Amino acid sequence: MVQDKIERQITIRAPKERVYNAISDPKQIVSWFPDAIDGTLEVGATPIIDFGADFVFQIHVVAASPHDYFAYRWVPANADGTTGFKGDVLSVPNTLVEFRLADDPAGTALTLTESGFSSLPKASAEKQHEQNSGGWDYMLDRLEKLFAQV
């Protein structure tokens, strides 16, 4: 049975406002997450995030509550198992990526949750859960290192 959710918690030595901006500002998110972004990250927006090669994804921003919560939906894999998706994210099985921020004595506690893997096509759901688990470890490490540089 496919696990439905990935959850990671990290503490970043920076105030919530700076961490929130790093995950919700198109000019800043490219310093740790995608290589490029085309569009805005406002609620209802459907920008394209580009990780290079065939890893180009349209997302749908569902929530933005400065400096506490940011969420979007995306399609981590297509029914045939290929990666990359452009189109109406809400019209196909997708996952919800959520960033929750809280004050912490050391800075900001960030909880990342990606859920909805059980709604993906069975042929690719388990593989996507596994790939995204490692992917989030890698990306959150990059986010932590971004703030360690300052």
Those residues whose C-beta lies under 8 Å from the C-beta of residue 23, and which sit 6 or more positions away, are 29, 33, 70, 99, 143
Specify the pLDDT at position 129: 93
Check residue 89 and report its DSSP letter: G
Specify the pLDDT at position 58: 95
Specify the pLDDT at position 80: 66
- Residues of the chain short of pLDDT 50, as ranges, are none
Domains in the chain (CATH in brackets) are 5-148 (3.30.530.20)
pTM: 0.95
Specify the pLDDT at position 72: 98
Specify the pLDDT at position 81: 63
Q: Is 97 helix (H, G, I), strand (E, B) or coil?
A: strand
Tens of pLDDT along 8-26? 999 999 999 999 999 999 9
